[in-house]
Every structure is written in C-alpha cells, then in structure tokens.
Amino acid sequence: MMRRNKTGKYLLGSGFGLIVLFLILPLLIVIAVSFTSDIFMTFPPKGLSLQWYRQFLVMSDWREAIKNSIIIASGTAVLSTSIALVMGFVLDRFNIRFGALIKTLGMMPFLLPPVIIGIAFMAFFYAVGFSGTLLNVIIAHGIFYSSLPLMLISVGFESVNKELEEAAMSLGATELKVLSTVTLPLIRNDIFAGALFAFILSLNEYFIAFLVAGFTVTTLPIKIFSSLRYSYSPTIAAVSVFFIIITTLVVILIDRLTEGIWD
C-alpha cells in the first residue's frame, strides 16, 4: 500500500512538473530570443546582446506606446475600482430588490468576448461623436474590467465584522465616518487587489483598445501586433519580457494582498 501511495505521488508530481514546464517553456524561449544578436527572432539565439532592450527604451514610438498603456491602465484601475466600490457597498448595505441579479449582471461584462464589448463601445462612441482618445479606452476598459474588483470588494464587505461598525456608531460616529475610518480600512487590501487586477488586464488588452481608439491611440499591445505584421524584430521579444516582468510582479502582489481571502 505504501509503495502504491509513493508511486501515485511520484506520478502526480511528475505530471504537475510537466504541466508547469509546458506553461513556462514558451516564456523561457521568448526571454532567450530577446537577448539574441541576430536581427530576427531566432531560437536558439545567435549570440547575446542587450541592443533590443536599448532599442525598446530609446525609440519614440515604443516609449509613446508605453506611456499610453500606463495612462490607460492607471485610469482603468481607478474607474473600475470606483464602480465596483459603489456597487459593492450599495448591494451589501441596502436591501435592494433583485440585488443578486444586479450583482450577477455586474459580473457579465468580463464573461463576454472582448471583441463584442469593443464593437459595442465603438458603435456607442461614434454615435455620440466622441471617439479616438485615451479617455474612450479608459471608459471602455473601466466598465469591462469592473467585474473583478466587484467580486473582491463584495467579498470584503461581506467579511467585515458588523459589530465593529455598530461599536463605532454607538460612540457617536456618523455612517460616513464609520465607512471612512472603519469599513474601508478593513477592506483596503481587497480594493487595492481589485485595482491591480484591472491595471494588469488593461495593460495587456488589445481588442477593445484597438476597436475603440482606432489608429489614433497606440498602446503597447497594439504596437506589438502592428510590428508583427511587418517584421519579426527581437524588439518585440524584449517588450514581451517587459510584460512578463510587470505581470509577474503584480500577480505576486495580488497574491500577498488576497492571502486568506478565500479561506
């Protein structure tokens, strides 16, 4: 029996290791290609060089794409978290008819394909005569990615010990004072984690940004896809490594902030 258990654990561990390797291997190849000295993306790399990272940081079009992506992602984080915070608070504190249905509808945008959301926002913005700006993308991303912050913030509100709020109110604090000094500090990790989720998803999003902004705003994903149409420069691999690093750091931070939230 013990031998069978050891064999099962060995097979399970080996299978898990193969899955992790299968997921990580493409990333390792991209990282290796980003250091090639060749003018095309080739693997294994023909020599080592940092020239593609220098080109990525020096060229004005890449810098502009980085700036646009960071502005959009930051605005998205603020807007989506604000929407989620208001919805989460109202649904948690007020006995609203069909509240569960409204919360479910609040999760729906993230369940729909981005291309459908992009087409819907493109049609809407053109209809109102307001399109092709950074603000358009921020609004579209903010609404689309409000679902994840809503989920986290709703769990945060549900986990708040209501006796703490009642104790504060019994000492003379107003509802607004209780919200700002007791409730929000207790769920600040959930709020911050939701904002980080929205930030990193917006940073990596392509379809909505392209459909909403058209050819007037270039984000980093749009720049990558347009560059792939004309060449296979290792600069694209260097940019991909930038995405990998940023995404990894944000995921680690989210994991620290939400540790124990689902226990």
Q: What is the pLDDT of residues 215-249, one digit of tens each?
A: 788 888 888 888 777 777 777 788 878 878 887 88
Would you say residue 46 lies in a domain?
no
Which of 11-25, 113-127, 198-212 is predicted least confidently? 11-25
Would you say residue 31 lies in a domain?
no
Q: Which is more confident, 41 or 217?
A: 217
For 36, the 3-state DSSP assignment is strand
Query: Ranked by mean pLDDT, which of 20-24, 85-89, 180-184, 226-230 comes out on top?
Result: 85-89
Q: Do residues 88 and 187 touch, judged by C-beta distance below 8 A?
A: no
pLDDT digits (tens, 9 = 90+) for 67-119: 898 899 999 999 999 999 988 888 877 777 766 667 677 677 777 788 888 88
Would you say residue 29 lies in a domain?
no
Model pLDDT, residue 161: 77
| pLDDT exceeds 70 at position 172 | yes
Would you say residue 243 lies in a domain?
no
Would you say residue 245 lies in a domain?
no
CATH number at residue 84: 1.10.3720.10
CB under 8 Å to 74, separation ≥6 — which residues? 199
Side-chain-side CA neighbours of residue 62 (13 Å): 17
Total number of domains in the chain = 1
The DSSP output letter for 218 is -
Model pLDDT, residue 138: 93
- What percent of the chain is predicted at pLDDT more than 90? 8
CA distance 3 to 200: 45
**Domain around 111:** 61-230
Instruction: Please give the mean pLDDT across all residues of the chain.
Output: 79
For 175, the 3-state DSSP assignment is helix
Model confidence, pTM: 0.80
CA distance 229 to 233: 11
Would you say residue 50 lies in a domain?
no
